Amino acid sequence: MLYYLFEYLKKEMNFPGAGLFQYISFRAAMAIITSLLISMVFGKNLIDKLRSLQVADEIRDLGLAGEKQKQGTPTMGGLIILAAILIPTLLFARINNVYIILSIAVTIWLGAVGFMDDYIKVFKKNKEGLAGRFKIVGQVGISVIVATTLYFNVNVKTKEFYKPSEVTDEYIKANNLQPQVVDEQLVLVKDEHSTITTIPFFKFSEFDYADLLKFLGDGYKKYNYLIFLLVVTFIITAVSNGANITDGIDGLAAGTSAIIGSVLGIFAYISGNLVFSDYLNIMYIPHLGEMVIFAGAFVGACVGFLWYNAFPAQVFMGDTGSLALGGIIATFAIMVRKELLIPILCGIFLVENISVIMQVSYFKYTKKKYGEGRRIFKMSPLHHHYQKLGYHESKIVTRFWIIGIMLAIVTIITLKVR
């Protein structure tokens, strides 16, 4: 909103300093600062309110250290994160941008699904919370909205640039590349709707999801939307559940999400900048640069939440926060065409997910085969395994963060390692 106000002040009144709001970097910085302030100021008031209402999820007795001290800790702290994301985004981003609108929708939608789950646990005293099938319906519902918007919206396009010397005549013809002058250089441009993605570690890295259906013969591309919808649904469901599972000890999900959000913000800035995308030979995605402001608000919200969620936690984010964080990350990755990097960038979420799948599958298999269930880990998800081994929560979280930073660096260098 402030972008439009200061644009008006600049044009009509030549207001001093109004031009700063034209710069994405300035607005992103302001979004980070505002998000941090909202988290810390609003967070304290909300925690006091939650405590007075006795909004605390019952801590199950899992035989872990520190469980008794956590009894009575307020949950639903994800409301702090949601407010710290949405308010700075509405203030500093161009809210007519399709990517911003979609990100706001994902945040509110999955935040509402998580809120219903927390509400049932806390106020209805149902430990299971929202039934799993309803969670899946919520995740699939927002996936349909994301996939449909990214596929059909006329403002969602990608452009790829090649120097004529870098590609063969056959490649030019097959991909319908068109000559265009960019920064006084003749380049070949491919203008496509957003059905393509990036394959890491390859120079000519574009991949059309429709190619998965080539076995259907001529006309296979008419099913492109369906395969795209399946991919989007799988990614959003997997990552949001991964974030939800990771939110098991103080500060782990929020800190890991902040690291991931920082990388996605870098990708958005580069992919939305004509010069940088041309230099790095990656997709140029018009209008995507505005997502840097959202990324700033997202990172600021996660870091600000750590003010109260770091060990010993004064508040838990609950499903209200964790489902939204995972959904935002998944949608963001799809927007920047880097969803195939999720196994690296979101490696912590992936390992946590896999540890649960392995534990449950092996338990069921051994129970059927030997008459008693056996376990691979002392407890799943993986962070609880290390707690059972005697590691302190803070040490586990810090080491997971370090691994997350290493994975983030590897993800960034894929821009050049091709």
pLDDT at 306: 95
Residue among 410, 390, 331 nearest 109 (CA): 331
Task: Please give the pLDDT value at position 189.
Answer: 63
Amino acid 236: pLDDT? 97
Q: What is the number of domains present in the chain?
A: 1
Is 129 domain-assigned? yes
| Rounded Cα–Cα distance for residues 326 and 302 (Å) | 12
Burial bucket for residue 203 (CB in 10 Å: 0-12, 13-18, 19+): exposed
**148 burial via Cβ count (<10 Å: 0-12, 13-18, 19+):** middle
Please give the backbone phi and psi of residue 204, each rounded to the nearest 5 degrees, phi first.
-95, 90
Domain contains 418: no
Within-domain flag for 71: yes
The Cα–Cα gap between 235 and 218 comes to 28
From the DSSP assignment, how many helices (H) and strands (E) are in the chain? 16, 5
Q: Give pLDDT, residue 73.
A: 87
Ranges assigned E (strand) in 125-278: 157-162, 178-182, 185-193, 196-198, 206-208
Q: Cα–chain-centroid distance for residue 24?
A: 20
- Note whether residue 181 is domain-resident: no
Residue 418 contacts residue 283 (beta carbons within 8 Å): no
What pLDDT was estimated at residue 284?
84
pLDDT at 230: 94
DSSP assignment letter at 284: B
Contact (Cβ atoms closer than 8 angstroms) between residue 35 and residue 85: yes
Residue 135 near residue 117, CB atoms below 8 Å: yes
| Amino acid 71: pLDDT | 76
| pLDDT 10s digits, 153-207 | 878 876 666 666 666 777 777 766 666 665 555 666 665 666 788 888 877 677 8
Query: From CA 296, how far away is CA 100, in angstroms rounded?
Result: 13
Q: How far apart are CA 7 and CA 94, in angstroms?
A: 11
Residue 249 sits at φ, ψ, to 5 deg, of -135, 160
Residue 162 lies in a domain: no
| Length of the chain as a residue count | 418
In a domain, 387, yes or no: yes
Sheet holding 178-182, edge to edge: 157-162, 185-193, 178-182
| Mean pLDDT in order along the chain per 10 residues (418 residues) | 73 73 90 95 89 74 64 88 96 94 97 94 84 92 96 78 68 68 60 75 78 79 87 96 93 97 96 86 87 97 95 92 96 95 96 95 92 91 92 94 97 88
List the domain range (segments joined by +) for residue 280: 2-156+194-413
Residue 170 lies in a domain: no
DSSP assignment of 287-341: TGGGHHHHHHHHHHHHHHHHHHHSSSPS---HHHHHHHHHHHHHHHHHHTT-GGG
**Residue 306 near residue 283 (C-beta atoms within 8 A):** no
Instruction: Tell me if 167 is assigned to some domain.
Output: no
pLDDT value of position 209: 84
Pairs from 388-393 (Cβ < 8 Å, separation ≥ 24): 388/63, 388/64, 392/65, 393/65, 393/66, 393/249, 393/250, 393/311
Q: What is the pLDDT of residue 21?
A: 78
